[in-house]
Amino acid sequence: MAKTKPSIGYHADGTIRNKGQTLDGQMHGYWEFFRRDGIIMRSGHFCQGEQCGAWTIYDKAGKVHKVTHVKPDKAAAKKKVGPVKAAEVKTKQRPRGCSRGSQALHSSR
């Protein structure tokens, strides 16, 4: 079985744009995306290149704004879950369809 590899993308100014893991060249597992000022913009899981599970959108201060849920087999059809409090966001759970190895980066948070 292929192993996941860490991946970091950068903005033109050198700040981190995104970080996560790839599997066979595709985004896989937990990913975070950042604004140029370094504040988190969104986070969630990819399952072999497709968004899956809960995706959290953050406001400009880095606080949870809303969470959406994406089914792995129908990535384009998002179902809004609605605004939640930061304490309600469970990020340690692996979405269905993701392998155990895809959680490695996420678990280190």
Q: How far apart are CA 104 and CA 11, in angstroms?
A: 24
pLDDT digits (tens, 9 = 90+) for 84-106: 443 444 444 455 555 544 444 44
pLDDT at 71: 79
DSSP assignment letter at 87: G
Q: Is the pTM of this model over 0.75?
A: no
pLDDT at 98: 58
Q: How far apart are CA 28 and CA 2, in angstroms?
A: 12
Phi–psi pair at 86, nearest 5 degrees: -55, -35
The pLDDT of 78-84, averaged and rounded, is 44
Q: How far apart are CA 109 and CA 45, in angstroms?
A: 14
Q: Where are the domains of the chain?
A: 5-101
